[in-house]
Amino acid sequence: MHFDPFDYNFHEDPYPIYRVLREQAPLYRNEAKGFWALSRHADVLAAFKNTAQFSSRSGISLEASDLGDNMERVLSILGMDPPRHGKMRALVSKGFTPRRVARLEGAIRALASRYLERKAHIGRCDFIADFAGRMPMDVISEILGVPLADRDELRSLADTLLHREEGVPGIPAEGIAASGRLLEYFDRSLEERRRKPGDDLVSALLEAELDGERLSAQDITAFSYLMVIAGNETTAKLLANCLYWLDRHPAERDKVRGRPGRIPDWIEETLRYDNSTQLMARTLNGDIELYGQKASDGDKLLLLIGSANRDESVFPDADRFDLDRDNSEHLSFGRGAHFCLGASLARLEARVALEELEARLPDWRVDESGAKRVHNPNVRGFSHLPIEFSPVR
């Protein structure tokens, strides 16, 4: 049996191979690439919670080292272990508060309705290019206080950063260059905020203090950058995955039609069933022995979130897309110390976006013939997803 996310690029359906891994090689070894992979829910959950043995210090992706000198600057709290992680997370949480997130609902609704109105009279659009690929980055810009005039440039840098060439491993040169330019942009805007504070997250982080400690300029820039890599593509892919899977399951769609109260169930089941973030990498601190095998200190290990979410021992009939099931144990936002700081924002964005879609274009349907998936060893979702609907005059 062979498993390598770089072969897959999550283009093909990874769930059949996950099943084989869970049953036959719950601690899988890829000798050629030198990594291990955990696929059962209990093991992935335990590893998420055990930051002492499963370290994030060398990044959370097999390809992270491609960023070279920029790596430390771009990973922020995502690439830290306790105790530094806890301290830094507490500090950034002073700026990125539930109140700041909840306050965004009106702005998110305005963005969603503006994008939908632009296409409503045409009767079809590309749900990625015209909606899902735009909104999350707009929301992050809103949070960071990026002026309207800079948003297109920032979006294009973020898109370049995330783009992967088919068949070419690693981050392309353009992506690395975009990463540098994004950091430069955040450096500049931090200095502007220092001179002229506003009601944005960066200004709040400049003020944040805990036990006499403050965030350095580099800490704040790194966190701004992390918002883009962690919150943009993941949320965009979640939105399109929601449409794709509901459209393929008419009986589930009937449960949502005319019942906006069921939209959160639609979102949670999509997160479980086909999450945009398929895996997270860790580096071992010390040796571990599991299932009769020994993995050594310093080895890379993948936590297969997408596989854990289809584990029959936690989710009976796991391959069924079912809005009525208990999916509260899904691991799509991770667990433990690194649990996604943006989970409530992602859920808010998805709920508001889908509420607006259902209210304005209730008979939307996916045109599968034009659907295209992204090539990426970590992320699963679409680069194009055409939808059709009755034009609104």
Distance between CA atoms of 373 and 384, rounded to whole angstroms? 7
Closer residue to ligand HEM in complex, CB, 25/104: 104
Closer residue to ligand HEM in complex, CB, 164/272: 272
Distance between CA atoms of 353 and 263, rounded to whole angstroms? 10
Closer residue to ligand HEM in complex, CB, 92/295: 92
Taking the CB of residue 355, how many other CB atoms lie within 10 A of it? 15
Residue number, nearest CB to ligand HEM: 342
Closer residue to ligand HEM in complex, CB, 119/136: 136
Shortest distance, position 65 Cβ to ligand HEM, whole Å: 16
Taking the CB of residue 131, how many other CB atoms lie within 10 A of it? 25
**C-beta separation of 271 from 327 below 8 A:** yes
Shortest distance, position 292 Cβ to ligand HEM, whole Å: 27
Closer residue to ligand HEM in complex, CB, 119/230: 230
Q: Based on the number of CB atoms within 10 Å of its own CB, is 296 exposed (0-12), middle (13-18) or buried (19 or more)?
A: exposed
Shortest distance, position 225 Cβ to ligand HEM, whole Å: 10
Closer residue to ligand HEM in complex, CB, 140/240: 140
Shortest distance, position 195 Cβ to ligand HEM, whole Å: 25
Shortest distance, position 243 Cβ to ligand HEM, whole Å: 14
Distance between CA atoms of 217 and 100, rounded to whole angstroms? 21
Binding site for ligand HEM (CB under 6 A): 48, 56, 60, 77-78, 89, 140, 226-227, 230-231, 234-235, 238, 275-277, 280, 332-334, 338, 340-342, 345-346
Shortest distance, position 202 Cβ to ligand HEM, whole Å: 13
Taking the CB of residue 262, how many other CB atoms lie within 10 A of it? 16
Closer residue to ligand HEM in complex, CB, 263/389: 263
Distance between CA atoms of 391 and 393, rounded to whole angstroms? 6
Closer residue to ligand HEM in complex, CB, 124/351: 351
Shortest distance, position 56 Cβ to ligand HEM, whole Å: 6
Shortest distance, position 24 Cβ to ligand HEM, whole Å: 25
Residue listed under structure tokens 């599968």: 368
Closer residue to ligand HEM in complex, CB, 48/244: 48
Closer residue to ligand HEM in complex, CB, 353/361: 353
Shortest distance, position 172 Cβ to ligand HEM, whole Å: 23
